[in-house]
Structure 1
Amino acid sequence: MVKPRSPLAAPPGTREANGATGASGGRRPGFPAALPAWGGAGAKPSAALSTPAASRGRTPKALGGELAPAVAGVGLDSAAVRAAMVRRLAQQGLAPEAVLQAFERVERHRFVDSGLVAQAYEDTSLPIGWGQTISKPSVVARMLGLLCEGRALPLGRVLEIGTGCGYQAALLAHLCREVYSMERLRPLHERARENLRPLRIPNVHLIFGDGTAGYPKGAPYAGIIAAAGGADIPTPWLEQLAVGARLVAPAELAPGRQSLVVVDRTAVGYERRVLEGVWFVPLKSGVA
């Protein structure tokens, strides 16, 4: 039996350059090889994060897919309400300091429809179109907190299943050296690309595809986090975890009832914890 590899160590024959050989025996996608300091815990945010919304060009509308003008001035006015959101998350004890710092740096209002900007920093999920939502900040903080809990930061390469509007991917960029984020809905994949492009985050790589099979070309992963819940945790996700890595995902372990599941891969197998009830959109296969 071949022992799984460490989450940070490159497998034999693997290079972190464009088109390098992957752990699955294929070739890694041609993503930029350089990983900037911006992505690490405690790193300074990109200058693009403080750019006024009016200069960001146009962002996709939540319901439809056509483009709508960004809201002028919101980026300058949101610091206080964003700080208040972070204080509420801190008071709830949902996440470590590094996760809270990521929430403080990433402007959530940039990832929601212009008509919902006033609700961007409330602890509520919001529609982002195509039957999907951006999760409540408290839920995102809880999952990121579990992913990072008791582990040295920044994490290595992490796989996100369900890019959505790109908000969680932007948060992960502060906590991981490299983020692969998969989305099965083409309009949302494009929306995330439009949302993230002005921020110039080079350690986030967006992938259009079916996330139920994971992304073997990038494996092994230091972590996997999912924003959709199936009947159980898909076997390919578990197989793509490195030794010492962790998976955080919802799963419908009883009919109509989802729970948050944490799986740690050890040298001898998997350790699984079932936590509180949650509700995410269903995990689906295929692309649309």
Structure 2
Amino acid sequence: MIARMRLQPADIGSGLTGQRVRDRLIDWLRAGSADYEAITDERVLNAIRTVPRHQFVDEALAMRAYENNALPIGHGQTISQPWVVARMTEVLLQQGMPKRVLEIGTGSGYQAAVLAALGVEVFTVERIGDLLRTARKRFRTLGLHVRSKHDDGRIGWPEEAPFDGVIVTAAAASLVDALSTQLAPGGTLIAPVGPSGGQSLLWLRKDAEGAIVQRDLGPVVFVPLLSGMVDA
């Protein structure tokens, strides 16, 4: 069930941001292609259909919001392709709906909004202050409860750990130990890992005894996971 959002006419959209275009995107995600695995979790598809992606990009790019493309959001960052968001969310939910999820890299706020729309308690960390302030406004406008912090994402949010899920939306050269240690037993971590041009999406699960199992979900392209904070 999708959490109730405060949708205004601008959120519902029209023309290239309207329901017909969104439904075409959902049909494409559900069918998949030679390069993209089909998304089969109807909860995820409903969240992608409902959350107004065009409100998470610059107005000049709104008409492209329901294409399967990453789009620039400023500061050298991007909003991920709808398929990537759907795939990471679907994998996160495969072991059951997590109650508390840590997101590293708020960016536009879209991934956090999709998780919140699913009823997940989201904790999101963003190193670029300007992006976080804009994302917070979007969360408030849509009536989504998302807890956010301006901090170095590589540190995570240890005072709120452990989390049932951790989702990382920028690529480090290797898995960040601080993030996997904040994962609860039975929890799942999804993260892109590797250098630019050679990244893989990794799935990691911590069993009840704390042992780690991981697998490679295939190639992806993400911006790098950087240390430190930017106020602007």
Q: Considering the TM-score relative to the shorter chain, is it more than 0.5?
A: yes
Partner of residue 201, structure 1: 144
Asked if residue 81 in structure 1 is aligned to residue 21 in structure 2, the reply is: yes
Asked if residue 168 in structure 1 is aligned to residue 168 in structure 2, the reply is: no
Q: Which has the higher helix share?
A: 2
- 1:139-171 CA distance string (max 9 Å, x none): 11111111111x222x21100000001111110
Structure exhibiting the larger radius of gyration computed from Cα positions: 1
Q: What amino acid does structure 1 have at the position aligned with 2:208? A: A
1: CA distance between counterparts of 2:142 and 2:208?
38
Partner of residue 134, structure 2: 191
Partner of residue 158, structure 2: 216
2: CA distance between counterparts of 1:145 and 1:111?
21
Q: What amino acid does structure 2 have at the position aligned with 1:105? A: T
Asked if residue 236 in structure 1 is aligned to residue 178 in structure 2, the reply is: yes
Partner of residue 4, structure 2: 45
Report if the CA contact (8 A) 1:163-1:169 is conserved: yes
1:91 to 31, 35, 41: 31
Report if the CA contact (8 A) 1:109-1:121 is conserved: yes
Asked if residue 132 in structure 1 is aligned to residue 77 in structure 2, the reply is: yes
TM score, norm. by length of structure 2: 0.91
How far the C-alpha of 1:95 sits from its partner, in A, is: 4.3
Asked if residue 267 in structure 1 is aligned to residue 212 in structure 2, the reply is: no
**Once the two structures are aligned, what percentage of the paired residues are identical?**
42
Matches within 5 A, 1:247-258: 247-252=189-194, 256-258=197-199
**Aligned-residue RMSD, C-alpha:** 1.6
How far the C-alpha of 1:94 sits from its partner, in A, is: 2.3
92-101 vs 108-117, greater mean Cα deviation: 92-101
Report if the CA contact (8 A) 1:95-1:144 is conserved: no
How far the C-alpha of 1:176 sits from its partner, in A, is: 4.3
Asked if residue 143 in structure 1 is aligned to residue 88 in structure 2, the reply is: yes
After superposition, the Cα gap between the structure-2 partners of 1:44 and 1:140, relative to the gap in structure 1 and judged at 3 Å, is closer
After superposition, the Cα gap between the structure-2 partners of 1:166 and 1:223, relative to the gap in structure 1 and judged at 3 Å, is same
Report if the CA contact (8 A) 2:198-2:219 is conserved: yes
* SS of equivalent residue, structure 2 residue 200: strand
Partner of residue 96, structure 2: 152
Q: How many residues align?
A: 222
- 1:231-270 CA distance string (max 9 Å, x none): 1110011110001100001000x67411000100012310
Report if the CA contact (8 A) 1:250-1:261 is conserved: yes
Which consecutive unaligned segments of at least 5 residues does structure 1 have? Answer: 1-41, 57-73
After superposition, the Cα gap between the structure-2 partners of 1:109 and 1:209, relative to the gap in structure 1 and judged at 3 Å, is same
Report if the CA contact (8 A) 1:157-1:176 is conserved: no
2: CA distance between counterparts of 1:266 and 1:44?
29
After superposition, the Cα gap between the structure-2 partners of 1:98 and 1:264, relative to the gap in structure 1 and judged at 3 Å, is same
1: CA distance between counterparts of 2:122 and 2:67?
26
Q: What amino acid does structure 2 have at the position aligned with 1:162? A: G
TM score, norm. by length of structure 1: 0.74
Report if the CA contact (8 A) 2:201-2:219 is conserved: yes
Partner of residue 246, structure 1: 188
Q: What amino acid does structure 1 have at the position aligned with 2:140? A: R
State the structure with bigger RCO (CA 8 A, min sep 6), 1 or 2: 1
* SS of equivalent residue, structure 1 residue 165: coil
1: CA distance between counterparts of 2:135 and 2:96?
28
